Amino acid sequence: MSRQYFGTDGIRGRVGVPPMTVDFVMKVGWAAGKVLSNQGKGTVVIGKDTRISGYMFESALEAGLAAAGLDVVLLGPMPTPAIAYLTMAQRATAGIVISASHNPYHDDGVKFFNGDGYKLPDHTELEIEAMIASDLVMVDSELIGKATRMEDAKGRYIEYCKSSIPFNTTLKGMKVVVDCANGATYHIAPAVFRELGAEVIEIGTNPNGLNINKDVGALHPENMRSVVLENQADIGIAFDGDGDRLMMMDARGDVKNGDQLLYVIAQSKLVKSGMAGGIVGTLMTNLGLEHALKLHDIPFVRAKVGDRYVMEMLRDNDWLIGGESSGHIICLDKSTTGDGIIAALQVLDWLVSEQLTLAEACAGMSLYPQVMINVPLTHKVDVQGISAVQDAVKEVENELADRGRVLLRPSGTEPLIRVMVEGEDSAEVNKFARQLASCVTEFAVG
């Protein structure tokens, strides 16, 4: 069945524009309560990022869930992975995150975790969509749900993060710049690293409801560069607005993306625990990671773009580590979802144990030049069915052989075909990308 409201990461949109209106979000809360409740009973944990609209949607969800007969535990501003963890810790029926992740403040969204801390399966989201179409009928007055606030949510999650690395690991002597994107990690990430002994320099920790992700955080890691260099910091760590995405920076000011951080974590797992299984990346994962992992005999597979699909492939293969170039990194032995703080701690633990700098830890992997050209479409088209385009792709693939790769894929949100070429030689990659983009324009756009 096709989805009307749910995307790959919950329901998301511009605040005040359907579906992100107050009345609809209240209906979503009620519908989710009806679908997820156990004979009309249960508890749902709700957390949010720092968008101004979070206050409004928190109240709407609370009302909808109470009308369905479920109790609510309000966490306040908390990272997405914290809500997954606290849902499990509370033995709650479900967890709800009010966030639009890396989007600007004028967007917001709602996403769900089940009682095990994993995102809802497709069939459950479809059940919720079907229930949304029903009339809202509240439970009898004596069965209305109650709401409480968890006052120590922050402290619980800080301790959980610290427990993801060995007790004897200390960050003493390390100077760290932490950029929290004026988002949900603002009051948590600096405390985690300080309590582990690091000297922390904070940026992006003054949210005002409107500045989340604005020129800071994982989407703008260059914001850290001057702070890292001026303070002669050992490392920079940048999160996105809801704390599930991570970028890091070495002492020279060079950004290390999700692929490079996956490589460091894979090295750590290989040495410390024998690396059971392999690594899951996506169609966009840099070929340099695949080749570097191959040198260590670590299996690697690609999922569709989106942490939801990375998670599915991890669970299907019974593997533990996966992620995206964008910085979503999943360590299933530590967390049930992508967690920026926990991923950063895995990297830091390896650096400390091996007495390495971040630059040294990443040195075994080379990022291949990657060129992406977006070709606008005038109408929906399947490039896989256009023989001239496919012949051009095969010709480039033959030229690149095992030195590169080609990917043509439609955008999930815009009328575009994304033409990506990756390889060892930058000039060659640029030439082939332009060549294929021209071919797509000629035969797919017309």
Cis omega (within 30 of 0) for bond into 19: yes
Q: Do the Cβ atoms of 264 and 293 come closer than 8 Å?
A: no
Beta bridge partners of 226: none
Q: Which pLDDT band holds residue 412 (cuts at 50, 70, 90)? A: low
For the stretch 318-334, pLDDT in tens is 999 999 999 999 999 99
Whole-angstrom distance, CA of residue 241 vs CA of residue 216:
9
Residue among 157, 353, 155, 169 at smallest CA distance from 264:
353
Grade residue 39 by pLDDT with cuts at 50, 70 and 90. Answer: low
CA 276 to CA 320: how far, in whole Å?
Answer: 8
Q: Which two tokens stand for residue 158?
A: 């800080």
Residues taking part in catalysis: 101
Residue 186 three-state SS: coil
Tell which CATH classification among 3.40.120.10, 3.30.360.10, 3.20.20.105, 1.10.30.50 matches the domain 11-151: 3.40.120.10
The pair of three-digit structure tokens given for residue 314, joined into one six-digit string: 């991890």
Cβ distance 303 to 248 under 8 Å?
no
Q: Average of pLDDT values for 272-283?
A: 87
Asked whether 157 and 78 are in contact (CB, 8 A), the reply is yes
Please check the confidence at residue 135 and state whether its pLDDT lies above 80: yes
* CATH class, 256-362 region: alpha beta
Amino acid 257: pLDDT? 97
Q: Which of 202-206, 234-238, 396-400 has the lowest mean pLDDT?
A: 396-400
Q: How large is the average pLDDT for residues 164-192?
A: 98
Q: How do 43-48 and 71-77 pair as beta strands?
A: parallel
pLDDT at res. 379: 80
**Mean pLDDT, to the nearest integer, of 258-277?**
89
> Tokens 């690149």 identify what position?
400
Which superfamily does 159-254 belong to? Alpha-D-Glucose-1,6-Bisphosphate, subunit A, domain 3 (3.40.120.10)
Tell me the fold of 370-445. Answer: TATA-Binding Protein (3.30.310)
Tally of CA atoms within 13 A in the half-sphere of 57 that contains its CB = 33
Q: Which residue, among 33, 20, 37, has the nearest Cα to 67 in the 3D structure?
A: 33
Beta bridge partners of 96: 46, 112
* Per-residue pLDDT at 104 exceeds 90: yes
Question: What is the rounded distance in angstroms from the CA atom of residue 380 to the CA atom of residue 109?
Answer: 27
**Using one digit for the tens of pLDDT, what is the confidence trace for 341-358?**
999 999 999 999 999 999
CA pair distance 81, 378, nearest whole angstrom: 39
Segment 205-214 mean pLDDT: 98
**Of the candidates 49, 38, 98, 48, which has an alpha carbon nearest to the alpha carbon of residue 71?**
38
Residue 152 is given by DSSP the state: T
Q: What is the domain partition of the chain in residue ranges?
A: 11-151, 159-254, 256-362, 370-445
Residue 48, pLDDT > 90, answer: yes
Query: What is the residue type of 437?
Result: A
Q: How far is residue 236's CA from residue 228's CA, in Å, rounded to a whole number?
A: 6
Task: Indicate the average pLDDT of the chain.
Answer: 94
Span 422-439, mean pLDDT?
A: 94
Is the pLDDT at 1 greater than 60? The verdict is: no
pLDDT of 424 > 80? The answer is yes
Average pLDDT over residues 206-216: 97
Statement: residue 102 has pLDDT above 80: yes
- Can you give the pLDDT at residue 305? 87
Is the pLDDT at 273 greater than 90? The verdict is: no
- What is the Cα–Cα distance from 162 to 345, expressed in whole angstroms? 8
**Residue 317 pLDDT grade (very low, low, confident, very high; cuts 50, 70, 90):** very high
Other beta carbons within 10 angstroms of residue 394's beta carbon come to 11
Contact criterion met (CB below 8 Å) for 9 and 101: yes
* CA 238 to chain CA centroid, nearest Å: 13
Give 443 or 152, the one with higher predicted confidence. 152
Nearest to 219 by CA among 236, 201, 238, 204: 238
State the pLDDT at residue 38.
67
Per DSSP, the three-state class of 240 is coil
- Please, which pLDDT band fits residue 168 given cuts at 50, 70 and 90? very high
Domains 11-151 and 159-254 fall in the same CATH topology: yes
For residue 40, the model assigns a pLDDT of: 65
What secondary structure does DSSP assign to 366-419, as a single string? Answer: -PPPEEEEEEE-SS---GGG-HHHHHHHHHHHHHHGGGEEEEEEE-SSSSEEEE
If you average pLDDT over residues 263-275, what whole number do you get? Answer: 87
For residues 152-163, average pLDDT: 98
Poorest-pLDDT segment among 236-240, 308-312, 348-352: 308-312
Please report, rounded to a whole number, the percentage of residues in the chain having pLDDT higher than 70: 98
pLDDT value at position 409? 87
What pLDDT score does 389 carry? Answer: 92
